[in-house]
Chain A
Amino acid sequence: MEPMSAHAATHHAPPQGFIRKYVFSVDHKIIGIQYTTLSLVAAFIGMALSWAMRIHLGWPDAHIPLLSMFSPNGAPGGLMTPEYYLSLMTMHGTIMAFFVLTAAPMAGFGNFMLPIQVGAADMAFPRLNMASFWVTFVGFVLACATFFIPDGPPLSGWTAYAPLSAVGTVAGPGQGWGQNFWGLSIAVFCVASLLGALNFIVTTLDLRTKGMTLSRLPLSTWAWFINAWVSLLAFAVLLPTCLLLVLDRLGGTSFFIPAGLVINDQLQPHSGGSPLLFQHLFWFFGHPEVYIIILPAFGIVSHILPTFIRKPLVGGWKAITYAMIAVGTLSFVVWGHHMFVSGMSPFMAMVFSVPTLFITIPSVIAVLIWTFSLYRANMRFDTPMLFSLGFISLFISGGIGGFFLAQPSTDSYLHATSFVVGHFHFTMGLSAIFAAFAGFYYWFPKMWGRMMNETLGKVHFWLSFVLVYCVFMTMHLTGFAGAVRRYSAFVDDFMVPLIPTQRFISVAALLLGAAQFIFLFNAIWSRFQGPKAPDNPWGATTLEWDTTSPPPFDNFGGRQITVYHGPMEYDGEASVMQTSPEVSVAGT
């Protein structure tokens, strides 16, 4: 048999010229950096949107100066209109869920680290990898373009429930070309994610170096691998959903639009479709999507923890990996818990509720493993470790909310309240962001060859951690009082008394956003002025630390890599590289 995998290692030479090297690069490391940068830009755009929303929610009469320049129609004189609020909310969700949380932990760090961690010179299909990034980029440009078309971005939320999203401009401004752009952007993003997932799967299976058995894979690689399967199947269903939505909008079909709709006194020319079909197809993707976001976070934290507690995780690689596989599998059978009150068959609510509660078990196992691995550890509190601890705390808090939302009876009170907003921001939003920060601080020396500033990193952590709780725990609590989400102003009698609390959330959210500029400054400053990073600054054991910072073009400078150990060979100060033939110190 011809050693086909040799192709990946040899079929491209180091590229020459700026364009080939840094723009249309096939090098997985450059692509990883491109993804990370795209996500960072997207994250700050998404954050700016949330700032505008929070200012409006706290002080509905406030004039936001920049906004009027940005959108003369949506915010005349800086005073946000209700429809523009919804547009900003939609784009905040879309940008954050797709272009930040799906892209950064998986495509960003995964692209850079996965081939190195398995000992390969590049991804299995480098050109496909480049295509994934640039297709994602096109998707991002399409999403951002909605801000600049006359009617502004769509206003039907990141879930784009039909028929609001399907009937066209009659349902409100932004439902015209804004929604078309949205549909195309997400369809394009699906294609990019599918190609990326394909690449991850094949690389992990086929390109492992000698001795790199599945049991020796770093846990981050395991997470990306499991996650690639989940995204492969989930995005494969979102793609047709987007296509059918676009067909309904542009082709005149009625997949999601029933007969006899009257909007603005105009009878709509559709018949026979079902809004519930859209919800089913969307959430068939949508629920795995939240695990697509959180699984890489699991992996990154499980990868980082052993380095800083100086011992293996309890249960070795098996316990946490099986937990991740269980979470990934169960994620496909629980989507109906988003639809308990949607008019879905009430019997199906029970069918979806039980696995939703059961998915808690592998999640609890994962949390127990992380927590009890800290027992009698020699913890070092570098910034990556702090963010990992923050992740565990946030994930516990978020997971607890899941108990309420997994049961149809309790969900029927809390559904569509700010409890849900707090819940998903904890579990998939901030948990994933904290893990991504942990990964960023951890891998920054490897990716850019310089150390980040620890003091600034710690300040960033303390501020973020406290403020995140101020914002989203408060949202949980107001949810109990029935504060409805997705309102651009609070005019209901029972919502008015909550306005001071909303202002508190707004202030905390603004400060939380401001704290992120410490991070941005730290990253940019360290990129150019930080002290040069050694090859292995954290005393870690996996392959990415067994090469220069940053790694050479072919990752290991032509060295033949052979792996002898699992990734968690730590015993206090002692640790053994995966490539070192020395005896194991951790007895794994």
Chain B
Amino acid sequence: MSTTRQLAMSSYVGIGVGLMVIVCIEVILTYQHLPTRTLLFSLLCLASLEGFVAIMYLMQVKYERPILFWTIFPVTLFVLIFLNYLWPDAFRMFNMRLLQ
């Protein structure tokens, strides 16, 4: 279902440039020698922002019926959230190693 409510091509180029700018920010952050957790958190936030822009504009979900968004988004998020249940055991692996 193609719609006419799309942006002009130049706007997409702008979005592309914007995404590249975020990538540059990520690289700059990397060289600020932040603590690993802070860096990971900020990188994930920026990547999620990029991902969101890509889904909405490049993949054009913004111009589809909302039902598409509500079909795909919750289930994916669901899996991504619950996979986090395995972190306690990752830390267990670090703390209870047999061979030090």
Contact = CB atoms under 8 A, between A and B. Distances in A.
Interface of A: 1, 205, 229, 233, 236-237, 258-260, 274, 276-277, 280-281, 284, 329, 332-333, 336, 343-345, 347-348, 351-352
Nearest to B78: A332
B79 A233 contact: yes
Interface in B86-100: 86, 88-90, 92-93, 98-99
Contacts of B31: none
B73 interface: no
A280 B75 contact: no
A344 B89 contact: yes
15 contacts: A1-B1, A237-B83, A258-B98, A274-B93, A276-B86, A276-B89, A277-B89, A332-B79, A332-B82, A333-B85, A336-B85, A343-B92, A344-B89, A345-B89, A345-B92
Contacts of A260: 98-99
Contacts of B79: 233, 236-237, 332
B4 to A, nearest CB: 12
A284 B88 contact: no
B28 to A, nearest CB: 31
Main secondary structure of the interface of A (DSSP, over half): helix
Interface residue tally of chain B, by bracket?
Answer: 10 to 19
B86 A280 contact: yes
Contacts of B86: 276-277, 280-281
A236 B80 CA distance: 12
A147 B82 CA distance: 37
Contact of A333 (B71, B82, B90, B99): B82
Interface in B64-79: 71, 75, 78-79
Contacts of B83: 237, 284
B89 A348 contact: yes
Nearest to A201: B71
Contacts of A333: 82, 85
A93 to B, nearest CB: 24
Contacts of B71: 205
A87 B11 CA distance: 61
Given A260-B99, A276-B92, 15 more contacts: A1-B1, A237-B83, A260-B98, A274-B89, A276-B86, A276-B93, A277-B86, A277-B89, A277-B90, A280-B89, A333-B85, A343-B92, A344-B89, A348-B85, A348-B89
Contacts of B1: 1
Contacts of A352: 85
B73 to A, nearest CB: 13
Contacts of B89: 274, 276-277, 280, 344-345, 348
Contacts of A274: 89-90, 93
